[in-house]
Structure 1
């Protein structure tokens, strides 16, 4: 997630710079031909260009809104993940009983709590196409990690392991039926949030829509100078470049937002949120040596 808006502006401008080069060359060529040969005979009705520009504006507005909805839904889902992770540990601590072996109980409680933190990291990396078990050795033991190496969905297997240990607590009467159901509901909410993130990640924004918008923008730019042949060349160049730059800029912003888990600077900061969950869980377990929060680097929070 970009925390410095000025960096976002320059980053997007940098992305638009390359598509603007052929447009710049074309507009300069048309202006030069107009100055030399006078293109009034090829005057294109400005009313038609106005309609085309309006259509492009509406299409870009729809695309930007749709992209922002995807980005905001991803952030909302991860907000729910943070809250339900805290709820999971709080419920485990408050509901379960130590039974006949307090030491074994404390070990299981710590294991299930830290596994929830591991789940957040695994989900974050899995959504970004990275190794989901990387860096989990501080949270779960190596034997358990080895069991996930051949898994096709490590976050789902981590939740399954939580459910199995939850059943063990219920079978040993360390949880009553009501408490078991409440904890199972928390697991279900976590599963739903994971499914929502996977749905966003596995359902790309239609590429044909982007190509259509790009085609309309370039078509608009192709005819725009011919609608401005009656104005001075500097005005023609300025208007043609500024309008095309504005359209391409909005389109690039939509591209940045449409895939919130693609490991771009504008993505949902899932790694930073996972670290927040880890810090909170370790505090709830009574630990005092806590990992540092992840801070923005060059205006980008990962």
Structure 2
């Protein structure tokens, strides 16, 4: 989650600096080719304008699709916040001795509530760790500058051991149970439902209240499934590949077309004045680099947004959301402030 009002231009330039160097080299090489071929090797500007228009449409489509995935992921985790608060409220009010066959002390009731709340936090922990697991089609974090950004921010799932983290919320028996399960977040919800059924059989939860709590667990399953769908279904590769190829075709022929255009300008100036400075044609280099950088950066921003849980600085802040839920639930449970963890570290104005 980026907390600044705008993404600083300086950092964006650093983020794309290697490609910018490449664009400068390509532009200079093609201008030299144009000049030393006596303007025989050139490219008309009309086709490049048509190709640029097509590329702009494709990049726009990708950006909209990527933003749609990010926004859907944020809506899902917003719904998880609401369902978590509902579960916390119901746990506090529904577990009591009103229909108990063998009434428990207030301390014992509090322990039952605490077990359910902590198990729910374990579910959040398992889900966020699952969302951070790499997939074969996720490639953003393999790029050098993205790795640099990853080192500048704090992603808890990459720094903290899963077993150590989740063991704070589950008993040894529960840890042994989920250890053999591939989908640990699903296993935790099964444990939760089984515990609620046991409390219902003891009369510590009224049957109607039990159904309400089960409905909340159903909501959590739904949110989990939606989140896993985004994680496990990539942006269609055919669209991504076409966009990649079309963009680079455009970028590679643009400097030559720019040189041809500025060469025509130089010819017209020479025809009217009888002399034309050599630097006129070289103006195509900065203009080409600027246009190449704009198209490439738009392309790259769209690619970064394809997988909203990968761990880049612009992902949905699922770690911060989970920790916020945990703090909220444990405070309302009445735990001591020193026992409740603080929010995750913010580095370079980014909280994951």
Q: Give TM-score scaled by structure 2 length.
A: 0.79
Q: Which moved more, 1:41-50 or 1:237-246?
A: 41-50
The answer to whether 1:263 aligns with 2:266 is no
Using the alignment, how far apart are the partners of 1:211 and 1:8 within structure 2? 29
1:112 corresponding residue in structure 2:
116
Deviations 1:69-88 (A, max 9, x none): 11111111111111111110
Q: Which residue number corresponds to residue 86 of structure 2? A: 87
Distance 2:124 2:301 in 1: 28
User: Do 1:221 and 1:244's aligned partners in 2 also have CA atoms closer than 8 Å?
Assistant: yes
Corresponding residue number in structure 2 for 1:69: 68
Q: How many corresponding residue pairs?
A: 301
Counterpart for residue 273 of structure 1: 321
Cα deviation 1:12-59 (Å, max 9, x = unaligned)? 4334332343332221012123333331x4443322211111110010
3-state SS in 2 of match to 1:138: coil
Question: What is the rounded CA distance, in whole Å, between the counterparts of 1:5 and 1:32 in structure 2?
Answer: 42
Partner of 1:153: 183
1:239/1:13 CA distance change after superposition, 3 Å: same
Which region of structure 1 is more displaced relative to structure 2, 16-25 or 122-131? 16-25
Name the Cα RMSD after superposition.
Answer: 2.0
Deviations 1:66-120 (Å, cap 9, x if unpaired)?
A: 1111111111111111111111010111122233112433221110011111111
Larger radius of gyration: 2
- Corresponding residue number in structure 2 for 1:222: 252
Q: Encode CA deviations 1:220-253: one digit per residue, 9 max, x unaligned.
A: 1232233331413233112211111111101111
Indicate which of 121, 145, 168 corresponds to 1:138. 168
Query: CA separation in 2, counterparts of 1:247 and 1:226?
Result: 16
Q: Could you say which residue in structure 2 is the equivalent of 1:296?
A: 346
Inter-CA distance 53–230: structure 2 relative to 1 (3 Å threshold) = closer
Are 1:210 and 2:258 counterparts?
Answer: no
Task: Check the 8 A contact 2:45/2:261 in 1, yes or no.
Answer: no
Q: 1:238 and 1:101 mapped to 2: Cα distance?
A: 78
> What's the secondary structure of 2:234's corresponding residue?
coil
- Residue 173, structure 1, aligned to residue 203, structure 2: yes
Quote how far apart the aligned CAs of 1:132 are: 4.5
Distance 1:8 1:159 in 2: 42
Unpaired stretches in structure 1, ≥5 consecutive residues? none
